[in-house]
Amino acid sequence: MIIEDSDRYGIVVDAGSSGSRIHIYKWQDPNTISINCKEAHSVPQIYQSNDWVYKVSPGLSSFEDHPKKAFSKHIKPLLKFAESVIPHNQIKDTPIFIQATAGMRLLKPKKQQEILQNVCKGIKKSTDFLLTDCESQIQVIDGETEGIFGWLSLNYLGGYFNNYDPTQSKHFTYGFMDMGGASAQIAFEPSDKNEISKHREDIAKINLKSVNGDTQEWNVFVSTWLGFGANQARQRYLAQLVNALPENTNNYDDDDFKTRTLYDPCMPKGYKHEFEFKDTDFTAVGQGDFEQCTKSIYPLLLKNMPCHDEPCLFNGVHTPKIDFTTDRFIGVSEYWYIPNDIFKLGGPYDFDKFNKGVEQFCNTQWDLLQDSNKKGDYNGIPDEFLAASCFKSTWILNILHEGFEMPKNKAIDSQNDATDNDPVFQSLADMNGTEISWTLGRILLFVSGSITRGNKVDNVGIFPSKIEAETFGKTFISGTLLKGSSINKSTSNFFINLIVIVVILSLFYYIFVYQKMRVRYVHISKLHNIVNSITRNYRNRGKGPSYEALSKLEEGVYDKATQRVIDDERFISRSQSTGNLSMNSPINGTVNGRSQNNDKEQSPFMRSNSRGNTVGPTSFQMSDFNKNRPQDHSA
């Protein structure tokens, strides 16, 4: 039974580095749906349309120096578009979520706050969209949260949150793999319940609700590898070519960087690539050797890093054991673009076909690849992307089989009836005709949280893993709207300062007028402590959300313009990164706004691993690359 005017709408804005995209979603109020219908045991169904997506450029982070224009010049056009889609009488009940990623993560917290506050104030002042709590609805999210949203979106589109039976102990879901330019991510629910129990402190818990009020509980492991995205891995690879020269590793400085021409087996033969490293110009000449390329790339996985809590995959990152006889994965972004655009092998993954295709491509002369591209064989992609495809496709092979240790054989005996006909891995851009976007996962959390039936104790939302909560201070992400955050920070700060001044004046009046009464001897030092305490408490009431130092590097732009961000922070993470490679990086810093000072001086060449232990020197830093300089051309 459908009740009239039961349609609801929601907005999620993906504020990325290159631009912001608004996604508009529609659903029927789940509380108006009969619990006797066939949808009662499923999460609410959400409708979206390709016509309900709109993008503006450049990214929200481009307003770093002009934060007061962030709403009017960037967000307002998106909301004007939304107002043309959503019925006018529904706007006041339409929640809005602006979730910033990529570029915004690189800004200093003060700059982030200035932009977010301006956006919040603009929405409150100029629109009627439902915004009850700016801190939870307008925020910068880290890569692991984005990974969980992606997992939710993928499995919602696959229908794996439908027909949920809470009496059953096992429910199949797909694992989510994502590879961008800077980072690689994985999110999956281990099929082996013993693995969940063994690694409970590493696993996040997600609560959803079915229409009938039943709680769906999911245990998801998620991790991000910073610096292991396709573009940043290639930057590390070029640094490796430079540092491998004997002249750059001996004890003499007068011969450093004399060799300026390098030979790259991961580029097609006949192609040249110019780049800058440590203020020195180099030219990489393609050799087109797939076998040698595979050997050269392997060290970038850092499989030699110590594993302090077995099992680990690569770079010393601990994960629950993946059982490829039952666990199934879908890859998006680079996992889709390269196999589909270059090799026409998007979809179900076949190692033999993909490996053979990559080998042939890498060993082909550059001029022949150009001719094929002109004929439309590679979708007419730019030359620089085409030339980099040998490295990227070989990197995907390494990540899947050496990093995640996925078997290469095509046939794996399945131990799960639900996966008998499913490939172990497949790359997709959409599922059932709908784009796989993490924004759908965010709105699903809200729609599910709006269900009033069922157990009131089981809060809908994401409970962070114990390690994430204790190490980074991560807190519960609620599926319902929160209330009470400060909107106009300038006005709020004015009143806070006014209160502090009144309290101070009152204390002075009390001390000097009534000093002959009971409180006769009030020491100035105690007064100082009292004033500081009052000031701190009042100021913290209006303080915005803190962001873990880890998230600033999530989609790291390792150039000199952002090196200050890397150098200013020390981070300790289960998801290890190659990002903090600065040779001048201070050891002391803050994590999530809390002091992480170490009284003992440590070498600036050392960094922390996932368990806080100091490990591994390195001989280069990603900031030595100048992204504005590289030029590609034919030989």
Q: Is the separation of the CB atoms in 114 and 403 below 8 Å?
A: no
In whole angstroms, how far apart are CA 7 and each of 52, 227, 632? Answer: 16, 43, 52
Beta-strand pair 590-591/477-478: unpaired
Q: Is the separation of the CB atoms in 113 and 544 below 8 Å?
A: yes
Half-sphere exposure of 75 (CA within 13 A, CB side): 32
| CA distance linking residue 202 with residue 402, whole number of Å | 22
Catalytic residue of the set 39, 144, 146, 555: 146
Which amino acid would we find at residue 21?
R
Q: Is 146 a catalytic residue?
A: yes
Contacts of 418 (CB under 8 A, 6+ apart): 172
| CA distance linking residue 627 with residue 508, whole number of Å | 58
Instruction: Give the residues across from 377 on adjacent strands.
Output: none
| CA distance linking residue 53 with residue 46, whole number of Å | 15
Q: What is the DSSP string of 358-373?
A: HHHHHTS-HHHHHHHH
| CA distance linking residue 322 with residue 138, whole number of Å | 35
The most distant pair of C-alpha atoms in the chain lies apart, rounded to whole Å, by 97
Give CA 375 to chain center in angstroms.
Answer: 37
Contacts of 149 (CB under 8 A, 6+ apart): 141, 438, 439, 440, 441, 442, 445
Q: What is the DSSP string of 44-55?
A: PPEE--GGGEEE
| CA distance linking residue 137 with residue 20, whole number of Å | 15
Sign of the Cα torsion 555, 462, 442, 92 reads negative
Catalytic residues: 146
